[in-house]
Structure 1
Amino acid sequence: MTPADAAKLQALSRMKLLATGLLIVMALIFAVSFALQGRFPWLEYVRAASEGGMVGALADWFAVTALFRHPLGLKIPHTAIIPTRKNEIGATLGDFVEENFLSAEVVRDKLASVGISRVVGGWLAKPANAGRLTAEVSAGLTGAMAFLDDDDIRAVIESLARTHLVGRDWSPQLGVLAAKVLDSGQHHHAVDLLVDKTEEWLVANPDSFSDAVSKRLPTWVPSFVDRVVDDRAYREALKFVQAVQADPDHRVRVALDDYLRQLAEDLQHNPVMRLRVEGVKEQLLDDPRIRDLAATAWQSIKDALLASLADPASALRVTLESTVTDIGVRLGSDDVLAQKVDTWVEGAATHLLSSYRHDIAAVIAETVERWDGDETSQKIELQVGKDLQFIRINGTVVGSLAGLAIFTVAQGLVSLAG
């Protein structure tokens, strides 16, 4: 029993003692007035009042007690109503909540009167609240990451890759994409970059180029011939690259364009080329190094994410907090956005209630059904029993006044008849 329940039980006990005490007082008054009414006739009025008070107190005691248990342990019909009919009460309560609290109209009117976007926006706009929400989100994500198994994640990534990469023929899409790039001329930037980098390397590394040429000459060629050949080959190569670099319509560029266009065409329509591409793709994805790279990438992402979530000063946390604050400010100042959010929330709430309100209300009935009958009676009596004791007290008072009034009227009629 919680401290609050203990306090309610103590208050209930005090009210029961008070109501029972009033009944005892009425009984004592009745006994004294009944015994002395022959000597003191005016005590007949006191007797009638106390008699009515006892009747009222006993009747209301019976009524209140019959809700929770059998009075005096006697199994009188229609007593112990709550423990014997708890299932019907739970079902009725669930229906009442469903019809009066979970209706779409009630929720829509309540949300419209509250202005949920303004309330939420005002709360989020406060930096302290934004920081608190960010911390809670970070803690939730950290907890979720702790439950994730790395092997399972890698298996999921591999399964997705096989489904969407290996399991699909990407050649037609690659061919269409390549054709679009060629038509737009965007590939010329890549060609220019490649030619520029080649020219820069030749200018900066003449000795490396010469060494590469010399190694391919026969060993019996004299050294001075090597130098002549190396120098001539280097100058011709540099001259050729610079010519390609300077002429947008150079035959190498034209040949490269023709090759790329044919490749794009073959990717879309040539079965042999498509089979070759698929074979290369499968070899790449089946390479253990690629798998190791995916595993390493996942671990790196996970470690970086956990470190960022744990550090309040990290860029991720700071960005998330500033984004939350900005959303709150916009909700409070942008009427159009606020109206959209309110409309969306109202629509979502009414849709959920229309679809699940019966299931939500059924929780009440199912919960009450699982309760023990005596336990249910005790729970309800603990919550409302104190107020029900006022019925006994009021019954005692009203019964006394009614008894006195009835006796007075009867005496008056007897006097008039005499």
Structure 2
Amino acid sequence: MSAAPSEMLARGAQLETEDRAKLVALRRTKAIATGALVVCVAVFLGARALQDSYPALAYVAAFAEAAAIGGLADWYAVVALFRRPLGLPIPHTAIIPANKDRIADNLGRFIEVNFLAAGPVREKLREVDFALLVADWLSDRGRSSGLSRFVARLAPQALKAMEGSGLREFVSKRITEQIEKVQVAPFAADMLSAFTADRRHQQLFDELLRVFGGLLNDEEALASIRDKIRQELPSVANLFRADAYLLKKIVASAGSLIEEAEADPDHAIRREFDRFVEGFIQQLRTSPDYAERAEKLKRDLLARPELKGLATDFLVSLRTFVEQDLQSDDSLVRRHLSDMFVQVGHQLAADPKIRADMNQGFVVALSSFVESQKSGVSTFIADQVRRWDIVQLTRLVELNIGRDLQYIRFNGMLIGGIAGLVLHIGERLIFHN
């Protein structure tokens, strides 16, 4: 946290150093320009004084005179930008201070029209791979862990807000509406078809065989079967213990049949079970009677009061689990969220198509935002310029462009001197004097 203020202080010191260097360069250039102007005046006076003795000095005097005039004119023009020359109240001087508001408005409009136009903004935004930046950010385990902690802190509050809002009833109603649209019988037939693919239902038949095999070894079950047999046999047969003999035969035959069915994957009983299952699935898919029964069962289930509170109970249970889990140092929710964010970052970095779609979305969203706010930016810039201290504003402008403006004075002296010399030569040629 302490790095930011120190960095700002360092940057401020660097700017102050740069401003001092600019100020020294500006003053040096001003002094040289003023010195050049004084030299022009001195040369003019000297050449004019001696031109009677040395006629050629008339050309030097003409050059120096025009150069001095040009230098003075450009000095006036440069000074008039920032202040009144010699403090005199001359009209159309101190241009920048006098037109601060107009400059502020024009600067704001200039930035709005030229820098914040829709086309240039979109082109500049397209140069940035926002999605890759997001991917790199998420791929960092530390950042993803921090994001997961932030999201995890918000999760209980979001779930609690959902409990007290109409979202619970809305979700419950929407789920019920969608369930009501589902035709249960065909849906169940499709599920059973998927289950019975590759004869996977034979595993269920194997379990049934093991259950029947267990019954044949259950003494209580055998005793019950023997009692049933005894009740059906004549009394004379019971005297010869026919019930025990029949039971033994039945158990042996059944056990042998079960063993054969278990050992033979293509046993007749298994094929019969296949036909039973296929027939049942077909009836579920086509039978109106089955369809009506399934729809009635669905309606009865949806009408049960337990389902009405299911959404509430689910949200309460979910919030309780999340709150308890987040109290743990090794939170399952935070760990899974962090892993998910890292995985999203890796997948996003590896999928250029998704990144292209995301970047296009960023461009549209950000350009629309800039388009809607650019007039506000223009107004903000204009207001900020208006609030600037006029002395500070003038100093800032002069400090940054004043040195270049001083060269106008050099150019003025040079161009003026050449123009004066050309006019003097023309005068001599025309009037022959």
* TM-score range for the pair, normalised by the shorter chain length: 0.5 to 0.7
The whole-number CA distance in structure 1 between the counterparts of 2:51 and 2:310 is: 117
Q: TM-score, normalised to structure 1's length?
A: 0.65
2:223 match: 228
Amino acid at match of 1:300: L
Shift in alpha-carbon separation, 1:358–1:244, aligned structure 2, 3 A: same
1:217 match: none
Amino acid at match of 2:309: G
RMSD between aligned residues? 5.2
2:392 match: 375
Tell me the SS of whatever aligns to 1:64: helix
Shift in alpha-carbon separation, 1:373–1:209, aligned structure 2, 3 A: farther
1:386 match: 403
Where in structure 2 are the equivalents of 1:19-418 lying within 5 Å? 19-37=33-51, 39-103=53-117, 107=120, 111=123, 134-138=135-139, 142=144, 145=147, 148=150, 150-160=152-162, 163-167=166-170, 168-169=172-173, 170-177=175-182, 179=183, 182=186, 185-189=189-193, 225=220, 228-229=223-224, 247-248=276-277, 259-266=293-300, 273=303, 275-286=305-316, 289-295=317-323, 300-306=332-338, 316-324=344-352, 355-409=372-426
The whole-number CA distance in structure 1 between the counterparts of 2:166 and 2:61 is: 94
2:185–2:291 CA contact under 8 A, matched in 1: no
2:322–2:333 CA contact under 8 A, matched in 1: no
The whole-number CA distance in structure 2 between the counterparts of 1:191 and 1:379 is: 81
- Which is higher, the Rg of structure 1 or of structure 2? 2
2:40–2:65 CA contact under 8 A, matched in 1: yes
1:65–1:71 CA contact under 8 A, matched in 2: yes
1:171–1:277 CA contact under 8 A, matched in 2: no
The whole-number CA distance in structure 1 between the counterparts of 2:69 and 2:116 is: 43
Q: Percent identity?
A: 26
Per-residue deviation at 1:77? 3.5
The whole-number CA distance in structure 2 between the counterparts of 1:232 and 1:259 is: 38
Shift in alpha-carbon separation, 1:317–1:346, aligned structure 2, 3 A: closer
Per-residue deviation at 1:394? 0.9
Shift in alpha-carbon separation, 1:362–1:353, aligned structure 2, 3 A: same
Partner deviation per Cα, 1:240-291 (whole Å, 9 max, x = no partner): xx9988733579x9998765321224467xxxx16442134434444xx442
The whole-number CA distance in structure 2 between the counterparts of 1:379 and 1:406 is: 40
Tell me the SS of whatever aligns to 2:62: helix
The whole-number CA distance in structure 2 between the counterparts of 1:317 and 1:230 is: 67
Partner deviation per Cα, 1:358-411 (whole Å, 9 max, x = no partner): 344444423322322222223322332232122111111122233334445556
The whole-number CA distance in structure 1 between the counterparts of 2:145 and 2:394 is: 41
2:25–2:403 CA contact under 8 A, matched in 1: yes
Q: TM-score, normalised to structure 2's length?
A: 0.63
Shift in alpha-carbon separation, 1:46–1:75, aligned structure 2, 3 A: same
Tell me the SS of whatever aligns to 1:186: helix
The whole-number CA distance in structure 1 between the counterparts of 2:47 and 2:160 is: 96
2:265 match: none
Amino acid at match of 2:276: D
The whole-number CA distance in structure 2 between the counterparts of 1:198 and 1:327 is: 45
2:67–2:412 CA contact under 8 A, matched in 1: yes
1:36–1:43 CA contact under 8 A, matched in 2: yes
2:139–2:343 CA contact under 8 A, matched in 1: no
Shift in alpha-carbon separation, 1:256–1:6, aligned structure 2, 3 A: farther
**Which structure 2 segments of 5+ residues have no match?**
1-13, 229-250, 259-269
Amino acid at match of 1:277: L
1:220 match: none
The whole-number CA distance in structure 2 between the counterparts of 1:190 and 1:256 is: 19
1:107–1:350 CA contact under 8 A, matched in 2: no
1:9–1:382 CA contact under 8 A, matched in 2: yes
The whole-number CA distance in structure 2 between the counterparts of 1:231 and 1:320 is: 71
1:26–1:53 CA contact under 8 A, matched in 2: yes
Shift in alpha-carbon separation, 1:87–1:51, aligned structure 2, 3 A: same
Per-residue deviation at 1:201? 5.3
